[in-house]
Copies of this chain bind each other. A is one copy, B any other.
Amino acid sequence: MPFQIPDSLILPALIERPFSMHYDFSDDDAARYRLDEQVGFLLRKASQRHLSIFSQNLSALTATQFAALAKLCELGPTSQNALGRATAMDAATIKGVADRLRARDLVTAEPDPVDRRRHYLIPTEAGRALYAELAGSALKISTETLAPLSDKERETLLSLLAKMG
């Protein structure tokens, strides 16, 4: 099943038209375009599936909040923006996530004595306890997300996703 249309199939039809009309070039592309075969759409659906499984198995935190808490527990005291970089969230996003974690006393903020722009985020005891409590579920969620795939396929998928950056 050819998932990818090679250039050789795309270009000729465009070239052999004697006259260029309004949407000729694009009409061909439009006819060839199938939403359901595009990476972006498949990635979005896979993410949706994952998030659905996540919220069903772990309702205490959102996936994003858990990611931030987990990374913070892994790294120890970290500035807010640095935590954002480590969890692939921009400054505005990590702020909201950190605020919600702080509102629930899972994380505290301490001013950095050296750099007055920064404040460290630090997991509280409750935060570490919750992380420890939920890590098992999180691992199970990853497994369940990959359930439709064989062991070898799971490995392959993870390495290809990692390769994509």
Q: Residues on A close to B: CB < 8 A?
A: 1-5, 10, 22-23, 25-27, 29-30, 32-35, 37-51, 54, 63, 67, 70-71, 73-76, 86-88, 129, 131-136, 138-139, 141-142, 145-146, 148-149, 151, 153-165
- Chain B residues within 8 Å of A50, by CB: 39-40, 43
How many chain copies?
A: 2
Q: Is the interface of A mostly helix, strand, loop or mixed?
A: helix
Residue from B10, B75, B149 in contact with A164 in the complex, judged by beta carbons closer than 8 Å:
B149
Residue from B33, B44, B135, B160 in contact with A157 in the complex, judged by beta carbons closer than 8 Å:
B160
Q: Would you list 19 pairs from A and B whose C-beta atoms are within 8 A, ordered by A residue?
A: A3-B159, A4-B151, A4-B154, A29-B136, A30-B70, A30-B73, A33-B139, A34-B74, A35-B67, A35-B87, A41-B87, A45-B161, A45-B165, A49-B165, A145-B164, A148-B165, A149-B160, A156-B160, A157-B164
